[in-house]
Structure 1
Amino acid sequence: MFRSRSGRGKAVGTALLVAASLMLTLGACGVDPVTPQDARREGGTDDKAGGGGRRVDCAEVKCIALTFDAGPGKDTPHLLDVLKEKQVPATFFLLGSRHVDRYPDVVRRIADEGHEVANHTWSHRILTDLDESEIREELSRTQDAIERITGRKPTLMRPPQGRTDGTVSDVSRDLGLAQVLWSITAKDYSTTDSALIRQRVLDNAHRDGIILLHDIYDGTVPAVPSIIDELKRRGFTFVTVPELLAPGKAEPGTVYRPERD
């Protein structure tokens, strides 16, 4: 499926084209998403965000979470340079095959620089098309690979195409993984136009939103600096997904998805 970078991009891009519409069918699968606001209310007054301390209170501050799927790739080190310069934390949903196993030093750097390291399966197979043992293998192989590199297993995952159901939720719960979807997408798998990617994000940005981008596509990383600058100008504070949910904590098996404005 991932024979080359260009071939991989086309394959993953085609697979992701239906993601937005599929997100709307979660209820029909018996999976009820939890919003960041609900997670915070359920979390009480604890001052922890997942495993680390809270930097901000997203009940009071206009927060937004920047997330990247399907990496790391050749452009991820430059992306990390940008995030470091602009002091922006992000959440990286990493793909195992030909990504985590190809760029272990980048995975280690993502973790060392304070970003949230999360799971995007081993080979980007659609989990709802698999049986329970196959779902478990897709997730657990990536869990183990990331733990070998960083010393810590992820607590978050993102199912390819946003497709989930009761079986995916049960396996995720067993593996200690909460499921994180999104509310803002630039559809960067369909274009290399960085200006268009930037505009799509800015047009849809909202408080408590989760932005979905991919650090494996040529137009994406060049768009990130101006996205960050403009959203900061609009008063947004960038946070990781666990920080967005704090003082709530992402519960294994649960699906988290922001509501659009």
Structure 2
Amino acid sequence: MRTTTARRTRALITLLAAGALAFGVSGCDGYTATSPAAARKGAPAAGTAAFAQGPDGAVDCRHVKCVALTFDAGPSVRTPQILAILAKYHVHATFFTLGKNHVRVHPEMVRDMVAQGHEVETLTWSHQILTKISTDEVRKEITEGRDAVEKATGQRPTLLRPPQGRTSAKVTKVAKELGMAEVVWSANGADYKTTDSKLIASRILKQTKPDGIILLHDLVDPTNRGYNGTVASVAPIISTLQKRGYTFVTVKQLLAPGKPVAGKVYK
């Protein structure tokens, strides 16, 4: 059983690493992205519940330097460590979860994410590359990943991170039909390539700008080639960016008072 699980994990890690590298070099399969600033522009005023809560009250990212921290591919046995760090720094993040071998295996961790005020969304059911499968398969991957989170938490995700950041007109059409908006990233720690937490943090700190969306992974690598430096990078990333004047928010808070629109891709 352990051998089978390790093999599945190694296969997933290979897909994640190859995809993130390909995304960084060649981009996605083609889409028009909407920036958080564009999502907020012209949006009607909203109640304070739409915004992040800072030390001095509600934080409006139209006037405050905001950044969203996101984690892909969990939950895993590392999740409690990540949640503890986020709690220490009073930061809320967005988790894009996998259904098959993660949400289904660790539903209690997904409930802990929600209980602590984090956003829990979907990275699909089994991390198939959506641009390489049929329309029916795309719909199945998104629906089953979304439903796994809803079963565990009672809350239905409305945000989709397409695996490897790859989307297309076909994928976007299905996402729109399912009421899902897509979210990619602007800062990538490339934690799939190294176990060096200082290097991971350095990459994020160099890439992060206001309205940024940070990509890290909530995953364990049994080959010890990558991801195993991620947890130790989280605190330095948060503390340094906070010292630089950034406020950490969830993806939906980053877009507020605008709201995610089904069928759009946010970056």
Corresponding position: 1:208 with 2:218: no
- In the alignment of these two chains, the number of paired residues is 252
Post-superposition shift, 1:32?
1.3
Query: TM-score scaled to structure 1, two decimals?
Result: 0.91
Q: Which residue does 2:163 correspond to in 1?
A: 160
Report if the CA contact (8 A) 1:49-1:246 is conserved.
no
User: Which segments of 5 or more consecutive residues in structure 2 lack a partner in the other structure?
Assistant: 220-226
Q: Which residue does 1:171 correspond to in 2?
A: 174
Corresponding position: 1:136 with 2:139: yes
- Counterparts of 1:227 and 1:191, CA distance in 2: 16
Report if the CA contact (8 A) 1:22-1:161 is conserved.
no
Q: For residue 228 of structure 2, what is the amino acid of its counterpart?
A: D
Post-superposition shift, 1:17?
1.6
2:25 aligned residue (21, 39, 60): 21
Q: Which residue does 1:77 correspond to in 2?
A: 80
Corresponding position: 1:12 with 2:27: no
- SS of aligned partner of 2:192: helix
Q: Which residue does 2:252 correspond to in 1?
A: 242
Query: TM-score scaled to structure 2, two decimals?
Result: 0.89
Q: 1:147 to 1:96 in 2, by over 3 A?
A: same
Q: 1:244 to 1:49 in 2, by over 3 A?
A: farther
Post-superposition shift, 1:4?
4.2
- Counterparts of 2:171 and 2:204, CA distance in 1: 29
- SS of aligned partner of 1:92: strand
Q: 1:249 to 1:22 in 2, by over 3 A?
A: farther
- SS of aligned partner of 2:105: coil
Corresponding position: 1:151 with 2:170: no
- SS of aligned partner of 1:18: helix
Q: 1:134 to 1:42 in 2, by over 3 A?
A: farther
- SS of aligned partner of 1:138: helix
Q: Which residue does 1:224 correspond to in 2?
A: 234
More off after superposition, 37-46 vs 247-256: 37-46
Report if the CA contact (8 A) 1:132-1:171 is conserved.
yes
Report if the CA contact (8 A) 2:122-2:142 is conserved.
yes
Post-superposition shift, 1:21?
3.2
**Equivalent pairs: percent with the same residue?**
46
